[in-house]
Amino acid sequence: MAEQQVEVKLKSGLQARQAALFVQEANRYSADVFLTKDNKKVNAKSIMGIMSLAVAKGSKVILTADGADEALALNGLVKLIQSED
């Protein structure tokens, strides 16, 4: 299992379009991927779960991945969440 705390740098946080891109990226990997904010943990492959966290720019979240490609999943998602687009 791999885990990393990350500060969200996306302009609009993980809302609507960015949340959809995040879920799409998470679904590229076979590893189980979770996102935790304020002690609420959701499946990162679920658009409703991600949107329910209301992740804004500057939020600190924890990404957790568990599976064969966990390192790849974590790296890809961290790169996306820390981009400023």
**Tens of pLDDT along 19-32?**
999 999 999 999 99
- Do the strands 40-43 and 60-66 form a parallel or antiparallel pair, or are they unpaired? unpaired
d(C-alpha 31, C-alpha 72), whole Å: 9
Note the pLDDT of residue 84: 82
What's the total number of domains in the chain?
Answer: 1
Helices (H) and strands (E) in the chain, counts: 3, 4
- Do the strands 60-66 and 32-37 form a parallel or antiparallel pair, or are they unpaired? antiparallel
Note the pLDDT of residue 58: 97
Domain around 69 = 2-81
Strand partners, 2: 65
d(C-alpha 46, C-alpha 7), whole Å: 20
Indicate the pLDDT class of residue 73, thresholds 50, 70 and 90: very high
CATH number at residue 74: 3.30.1340.10
What is the average pLDDT across 26-42?
A: 98
pTM of the complete model beyond 0.85: yes
Note the pLDDT of residue 34: 99
What is the average pLDDT across 50-54?
A: 97
